[in-house]
Chain A
Amino acid sequence: MDRAGGRPAVMRKRMINVYPTRGAALFLAALPFLLLLLAYLAGSAARLADNPDDKLLPSFASIGAGFARMAFEADPRTGDVLLWVDTAASLARLLAGLAIATVMAGVFGIAIGLVPFVRTTFNGFVAVIAMIPPLAILPILFIIFGLGETSKVALIVIGVAPVVMRDMILRVDEMPRELMVKAQTLGASTWQIALRVVVPQMMPRLIDSVRLSLCSAWLFLIAAEAIASQSGLGYRIFLLRRYLAMDTILPYVAWITLLAFALDFGLRRLQGKAFPWFAQGRT
């Protein structure tokens, strides 16, 4: 019963306390995607009605045909099915770069966070190195490592590792002092503390950190591939740009997004599975 202003009961709650039902939540989450899709369809239809040869906003049919051409038909020149060749090349670079960066960041970040002498030696150095814009040294990488795989992987490592490393240092700092003291009262050496206390507690946080840097890893990958490469997803979309081949570029972008999302999702699942205590402790 509402006497105040004739508003329905649910409205009397503050906005911050009103939650959608399950069905509404699903609809609302899908809504932005649907709107974008509709806007595209409308724009595409309007442009194609004007000029059937328009390349800027191709119809879904021609996007589908473009995707099928890349994903299922062998390229007449090389005999490769390009989408899979590109995907394999890009993922190999990305994963190699991420793996190296993660191991480096984990090892050095934990050492710097834990041991005062290592910290005083390297903390300032890492802070300065992390400020170098990675793309600015891409030419140097090309000069040193040549135009092959090494320079692309190196760019990802240089772009990702310092950020993750600094995050690791902060996370080690955040560990309660009490836990460090407690480990010492149990007779642990520095090495044992690192191995049994700090590393296991840092692993799930390292995964968080890598997840956050996935986006910049993709950025560096595509930039490196765009500038000098003969394969890869980034190489392909920049090549196709010359022919204004939006019917192929758009599915490629969607495919890249899907890969990035899958990688992020996979890491999140891995964290939950491998470190059940972490998720429980967070709530």
Chain B
Amino acid sequence: MTAVSVRNVWKEYDGRIVLEQVSLEVEPHSFIALVGPSGCGKSTFLRMLLSAETPTKGDILFEGERLPGEPTADRGVVFQRYSVFPHLTVLENVVLGKEFAASPLLGKLFGKARKRAREEAAEILTAVGLGDFLHLYPSQLSGGMQQRLAIAQALIKRPKILLLDEPFGALDPGIRAEIHVLMLKLWRETRMTVFMVTHDLSEAFHLGTRVIAFDRPRNRPEERDRYGATITHDLAVWPPKYPVSDTHIASGGTTRLLDELEALPGRPGVGH
């Protein structure tokens, strides 16, 4: 069974082709890292998975069904910025997802239901390491803590797919390493399928079970508008992370694959 099936998807903006001939089958509980140069459409691809944008041509199926035309609660997201609501405290940011589901009219819970939702939210926040900061506003948090909050906020909806758009790009290396450990742990526990756009190849191989590279096979100035980017590399990461235990992937494996990607011939033609 495939969790996500992308069938010959194209994306155009005003006649300018951004993505073409993108096809992809993704197993459930994969961790897909999307890499590629700036402007190669990998974020556009992620937004299409989110239904924040629709493909010009082609279909994206999720568990055999075509994606709905707008974002839904079964697909969570963490952006690089603006992922959390500045007017709510850490706890309120996470409770919000519960409140939307339980209270259609006011979007707010009271009494016992409120207490239960807050306890569940606090539990998730403790799991991502924010247990001591429940009543701060996002602007009082560091960048890494804000991203942890954004992850917790998405997790309370128990999404089947988690979409990450350069989530750790703005974090310094130490914080990033910590949040990588957390991310792998959450991925294993929740059995979500994760798509992550990143600029960082080592991050891609460290976290991903599969690394997908987007690029423009034809990139001369006169070709840019008429030929889009597509998937140029599709690499399974070795050793497989799942159902492997929670130890870190052997660094040897990562390095070897990094070398391999670097050594691959640049931009082979489409369909080769």
Q: A residues within 8 Å of B by Cβ?
A: 176-179, 181-189, 191-192, 195-197, 200-201, 275-278, 280-281
Complex CA gap A201/B139 in Å reads: 14
B81: Cβ under 8 A from any A Cβ: yes
What mask results when residues 7 to 35 of chain B are scored 1 for a CB within 8 Å of chain A, else 0? 00000000000000000000000000000
B137: Cβ under 8 A from any A Cβ: yes
Which residues of the other chain, A, contact B72 by a CB distance below 8 angstroms?
A: 184-185, 187
Kindly identify which residue among A179, A277, A280 contacts B82, using a CB–CB cutoff of 8 Å: A179
Instruction: Establish whether residues A189 and B81, one from each chain, have CB atoms under 8 Å apart when the complex forms.
Output: no
Which residues of the other chain, A, contact B96 by a CB distance below 8 angstroms?
A: 186, 196
What mask results when residues 36 to 51 of chain B are scored 1 for a CB within 8 Å of chain A, else 0? 0000000000000010
Shortest Cβ distance from A201 into B: residue: B87
Which 3 pairs, one residue from A and one from B, show the smallest C-beta to C-beta distance? A187-B73, A176-B82, A184-B71
Kindly identify which residue among A185, A195, A201 contacts B107, using a CB–CB cutoff of 8 Å: A195
Which residues of the other chain, A, contact B137 by a CB distance below 8 angstroms?
A: 276-277, 280-281
Which residues of the other chain, B, contact A197 by a CB distance below 8 angstroms?
A: 85
Instruction: Establish whether residues B82 and A200, one from each chain, have CB atoms under 8 Å apart when the complex forms.
Output: no
Instruction: Establish whether residues B73 and A186, one from each chain, have CB atoms under 8 Å apart when the complex forms.
Output: yes
B178: Cβ under 8 A from any A Cβ: no
Instruction: Establish whether residues B86 and A185, one from each chain, have CB atoms under 8 Å apart when the complex forms.
Output: no
B255: Cβ under 8 A from any A Cβ: no
Instruction: Establish whether residues A280 and B85, one from each chain, have CB atoms under 8 Å apart when the complex forms.
Output: no
A184 to chain B, nearest CB (A): 4
Indicate whether A196 sits within 8 Å of B97 (C-beta atoms), given known contacts A185-B76, A186-B157.
no
Kindly identify which residue among A177, A183, A189, A281 contacts B139, using a CB–CB cutoff of 8 Å: A281
B233 to chain A, nearest CB (A): 28
Kindly identify which residue among A185, A191, A277, A278 contacts B75, using a CB–CB cutoff of 8 Å: A185
Complex CA gap A191/B108 in Å reads: 12
A98 to chain B, nearest CB (A): 24
Could you write out 23 A-B pairs with CB less than 8 Å apart? A178-B79, A178-B81, A179-B85, A182-B82, A185-B72, A185-B154, A186-B96, A186-B157, A187-B72, A187-B73, A187-B100, A188-B100, A189-B104, A192-B100, A196-B100, A196-B108, A201-B87, A277-B86, A277-B87, A277-B138, A277-B139, A278-B87, A280-B140
Which residues of the other chain, A, contact B73 by a CB distance below 8 angstroms?
A: 185-187
Complex CA gap A186/B157 in Å reads: 7
What mask results when residues 123 to 145 of chain B are scored 1 for a CB within 8 Å of chain A, else 0? 00000000000000111100000
Q: B residues within 8 Å of A by Cβ?
A: 50, 52, 70-73, 75-77, 79, 81-88, 96-97, 99-101, 104-108, 137-140, 150, 153-154, 157, 159
Instruction: Establish whether residues A185 and B71, one from each chain, have CB atoms under 8 Å apart when the complex forms.
Output: yes
Complex CA gap A177/B97 in Å reads: 18
B250 to chain A, nearest CB (A): 34
Indicate whether A182 sits within 8 Å of B157 (C-beta atoms), given known contacts A187-B101, A196-B99, A196-B108.
no
Which residues of the other chain, A, contact B100 by a CB distance below 8 angstroms?
A: 183, 186-189, 192, 196
Query: Interface SS of chain A: helix, strand, loop or mixed?
Result: helix
Shortest Cβ distance from A281 into B: residue: B139
A53 to chain B, nearest CB (A): 62
Instruction: Establish whether residues A184 and B139, one from each chain, have CB atoms under 8 Å apart when the complex forms.
Output: no
Instruction: Establish whether residues A176 and B157, one from each chain, have CB atoms under 8 Å apart when the complex forms.
Output: no
A234 to chain B, nearest CB (A): 38
Which residues of the other chain, A, contact B99 by a CB distance below 8 angstroms?
A: 196
Which residues of the other chain, B, contact A181 by a CB distance below 8 angstroms?
A: 50, 52, 71, 77, 79
Complex CA gap A243/B204 in Å reads: 83
Complex CA gap A30/B160 in Å reads: 63
Which residues of the other chain, B, contact A186 by a CB distance below 8 angstroms?
A: 73, 96-97, 100, 153-154, 157
Complex CA gap A276/B88 in Å reads: 10
Which residues of the other chain, B, contact A185 by a CB distance below 8 angstroms?
A: 50, 71-73, 75-77, 154, 157, 159
Instruction: Establish whether residues A281 and B86, one from each chain, have CB atoms under 8 Å apart when the complex forms.
Output: yes
Which residues of the other chain, B, contact A183 by a CB distance below 8 angstroms?
A: 85, 100
A149 to chain B, nearest CB (A): 36
Shortest Cβ distance from A176 into B: residue: B82
Which residues of the other chain, A, contact B104 by a CB distance below 8 angstroms?
A: 189, 191-192
Which residues of the other chain, A, contact B88 by a CB distance below 8 angstroms?
A: 200, 277
Which residues of the other chain, A, contact B81 by a CB distance below 8 angstroms?
A: 176, 178
Complex CA gap A94/B137 in Å reads: 35
Complex CA gap A178/B47 in Å reads: 10
Instruction: Establish whether residues B97 and A184, one from each chain, have CB atoms under 8 Å apart when the complex forms.
Output: no
Instruction: Establish whether residues B107 and A192, one from each chain, have CB atoms under 8 Å apart when the complex forms.
Output: yes
Complex CA gap A183/B77 in Å reads: 10
Which residues of the other chain, B, contact A201 by a CB distance below 8 angstroms?
A: 85-87
B130 to chain A, nearest CB (A): 17
Complex CA gap A183/B88 in Å reads: 13
Instruction: Establish whether residues A188 and B107, one from each chain, have CB atoms under 8 Å apart when the complex forms.
Output: yes
Complex CA gap A68/B262 in Å reads: 87
Which residues of the other chain, B, contact A195 by a CB distance below 8 angstroms?
A: 106-107
Instruction: Establish whether residues B71 and A178, one from each chain, have CB atoms under 8 Å apart when the complex forms.
Output: no
Complex CA gap A196/B101 in Å reads: 13
A68 to chain B, nearest CB (A): 48
Which residues of the other chain, B, contact A179 by a CB distance below 8 angstroms?
A: 82, 85
